[in-house]
Amino acid sequence: MTEEVKEKKETFSLEEGLEKIERLLERLTDREVTLEESFRLYQEGMELLKQCNARIDHVEKQMLQIDEEGNTHEFS
C-alpha cells in the first residue's frame, strides 16, 4: 500500500475514492507505465476499492426501509 493510500485510508469520501480509482485506471492504460509501476498501481487500486466497498456496506446497513404503514425497519 502506498503512503498516499495509508494517509487517506480513513479520511477520503466515497466520491474521492472513486475518482482516485478512475485516475489509477487511466494511468494503468498508459503505455509508458512500467510493469513494476503497473503492479503498484493495481495494488493501490485494489486497496482503494476495498475501502470504498466497506463504506458502501456501512451505508447500506444504516439505510432504513419504510413499510406500507410508514414504519421504518433496518435495511436487510
**Cell, residue 35:** 510493469
Confidence at residue 63, expressed as pLDDT on a 0 to 100 scale: 73
Q: Which residue has the higher pLDDT, 28 or 71?
A: 28
Structural domain for 54, as ranges: 3-74
Confidence at residue 10, expressed as pLDDT on a 0 to 100 scale: 56
* H/E segment holding residue 72: strand 72-74
Q: Which of 15, 36, 38 is nearest to 25 (CA)?
A: 38
- The structure's pTM equals 0.66
The pLDDT confidence band at residue 1, using thresholds 50, 70 and 90, is very low
Confidence at residue 25, expressed as pLDDT on a 0 to 100 scale: 95
C-beta separation of 75 from 65 below 8 A: yes
Number of compact structural domains in the chain = 1
pLDDT single digits (tens) 13-58: 889 999 999 999 999 999 999 999 999 999 999 999 999 999 998 8
C-beta separation of 48 from 5 below 8 A: yes
Q: Which residues pair with 72 in a beta bridge?
A: 66
